[in-house]
Amino acid sequence: MSDRPIIIRRKKVAKHGHHGGAWKIAFADFMTALMALFLVLWVLSNASKNDKEAIAEYFSTPLLAAISKGERTANSASAIPGGGPDPRTTQGEKTRHTPRLSGEERRHLESLKQRLNNAVDRDPQLRELKQQIAIELSPEGLRVQLLDTDKRPMFELGSANVAPYLSKLLKTFAPVLNELPNRIQISGHTDSHPYPGGDAGYNNWDLSADRAKASRQELVAGGLDSDKLLRVSGMADRIRFHGAGPYDAANRRIEIIVLDRRVAERILSQDEYGTP
* Residue of 142 and 13 predicted with greater confidence: 142
Is 254 a residue whose pLDDT tops 70? Answer: yes
Which pLDDT tens digit goes with each residue over 29-39?
899 999 999 88
* Residue of 193 and 66 predicted with greater confidence: 193
> Could you tell me the pLDDT band of residue 62, with boundaries at 50, 70 and 90?
low
**Sign of torsion over alpha carbons 107, 265, 100, 116:** positive
User: Mean of the pLDDT values across residues 144-168?
Assistant: 96
CB atoms closer than 10 angstroms to residue 274: 12
DSSP line for the chain: ---PPPP------PPP----SHHHHHHHHHHHHHHHHHHHHHHHHTS-HHHHHHHHHHHHS-HHHHHHT--SS---SSSSTT--SSTTS-PPPPPPSSPPPPHHHHHHHHHHHHHHHHHHHT-HHHHTTGGGEEEEEETTEEEEEEE--SSS-SB-TTS-PBPHHHHHHHHHHHHHHTTS---EEEEEE--SPPPTTGGGSS-HHHHHHHHHHHHHHHHHHTT--GGGEEEEEE-TTSSPPTT--TT-GGGSEEEEEEE-HHHHHHHHTT-TT---
Among 239, 247, 136, 150, residue whose Cα is nearest residue 189:
239
Is 86 a residue whose pLDDT tops 80? Answer: no
Fold entry, domain 103-268: 60s Ribosomal Protein L30; Chain: A; (3.30.1330)
> Could you tell me the pLDDT band of residue 250, with boundaries at 50, 70 and 90?
very high
Is 80 a residue whose pLDDT tops 50? Answer: no
pLDDT, the chain, mean: 83
* Residue of 115 and 199 predicted with greater confidence: 115
* Residue of 104 and 230 predicted with greater confidence: 230
> Could you tell me the pLDDT band of residue 49, with boundaries at 50, 70 and 90?
confident
Q: Cα(173)–Cα(168) distance, rounded to whole angstroms?
A: 9
Which pLDDT tens digit goes with each residue over 199-218?
888 999 999 999 999 999 99
pLDDT of 260 reads 95
Q: Cα(167)–Cα(163) distance, rounded to whole angstroms?
A: 6
Is 85 a residue whose pLDDT tops 80? Answer: no
Which pLDDT tens digit goes with each residue over 92-102?
444 444 457 88
Is 83 a residue whose pLDDT tops 50? Answer: no
pLDDT of 16 reads 58
Is 3 a residue whose pLDDT tops 80? Answer: no
Is 255 a residue whose pLDDT tops 90? Answer: yes
